[in-house]
Structure 1
Amino acid sequence: MAKSRNEPGAPLDRLVATAKGLAHPARLRLLGMLATGELCVCQLTAVLELAPSTVSQHLAVLARGGLVGERKEGKLVFYRLREDGEAAALLAPLLAQLAGDPRAKADRALIARLRRVPIATLCAAELDLVAIGVRQPAVAAGAG
């Protein structure tokens, strides 16, 4: 019996799910940050400065595309790049291109500083990177 063209897991469907994962700037930034290693959703949320629900939705799209995996530790959820599967093979050249992007570089620099801060401290500061000394306060326009 032939496979249905809408059968979940068919090669075309998997490729479409992976492409959807790559088709948004925030998701590409998430992949760039995860290229540095496993991160908690709260760390990713703090850097992107998006609502936690929005970041979780982006991570779910990446997971459906086979690009990231997750693990839970109590109430915390950690994500990492998947190193297995068809989608993982696409990541290396994309991450190499992303490495030169100014936003991606800034994200990686923030993540490097953020990794030195206990997650409990980040959560207690309500993900405020300025409050924990990881990000400089924004200078108001016209100030100086």
Structure 2
Amino acid sequence: MSAKILCPTDGTDHSMVGVAKAAELARLTAKPLRFCVVNIAHGGVKGPTISHWTPEQVREILDLAVTKAKGCGVADVDGIELIAREPGPAIVAYADQEGFDQIVMGTGDKHGIKRLVLGSVASAVAGSAHCSVLVARAS
């Protein structure tokens, strides 16, 4: 089994909680860490497919995550863009295809009864991933 960590991020505060946890785990275990940004594809069929973020925005999100991880002492870290219509299945498929043994991701700051439920992407990933999933909740 390979030993590497995948961390999806979209640059939001709650996803950065996942970035911090993934960096901590990668540093403690000396596992390689890869960040991914799922750039949601809109349109298609009869019109052009339009990505949610520009290439510059994707690079900015990935650079932020990589910089944070390197600042935490992670040596083996990089990032990749995934283009898909649904982020959850795209993350799971990529993790399976590339042999990741851990997915670490953040979930949104929820209050009250909603705090008992994961965000939809985190829930989709945790419910269908072939490997362990650590969901870090923003406080």
Same fold (TM over 0.5): no
TM-score using structure 1 length: 0.29
More RCO (CA 8 Å, sep 6+): 2
Of Structure 1 and Structure 2, which has the larger fraction of its residues in helix? 1
Of Structure 1 and Structure 2, which has the larger fraction of its residues in strand? 2
- Higher-Rg member (1/2): 1
